[in-house]
Amino acid sequence: MRYAGKMGFIKTVDRGNGLWEPEVVERTYIGDVIRNTARWQANNESTNDNIVINNQLSILVDPYALENFQYMKYIEWMGSLWNIESVEINYPRVVISIGGVYNGEQN
């Protein structure tokens, strides 16, 4: 299965006078889905269980992604944003494992 979508990189940058803020950069990448699984996590505080995606995507990367892989925070998958759990560099690709729904900073 093919993949195409955006990925979010988040760095904390110095804006001056000791003010540090998140800087979000979104870029679009293509690649392949190499594992497509999901599990449901029981949530005692809510009626509905949380879904956790255990997918792995092999993404063809550019120099920006290679230089900033440590800042990869989320990826778009099936119309939602998901947390990036881990990144494995296999140049010219990276294998990204994704987990739960991402609810943090974005563009």
Task: Decide: helix, strand or coil at residue 69.
Answer: helix
Q: What is the pLDDT of residue 72?
A: 97
Q: Of 89, 88, 4, whose CA–CA distance to 97 is shortest?
A: 88
Which of 105, 80, 75 has the alpha carbon at shortest distance from 12? Answer: 105
| pLDDT higher than threshold 90 for residue 41 | no
∠ CA(78), CA(88), CA(56), 5° rounding? 25
Q: What is the pTM of this model?
A: 0.83
Residue-wise pLDDT for 47-103, tens only, equals 666 777 789 999 999 999 999 999 999 999 889 999 999 999 999 999 999 988 899
Tell me what pLDDT residue 42 has: 67
Give the pair of three-digit tokens for residue 34.
């190499």
pLDDT at 48: 60
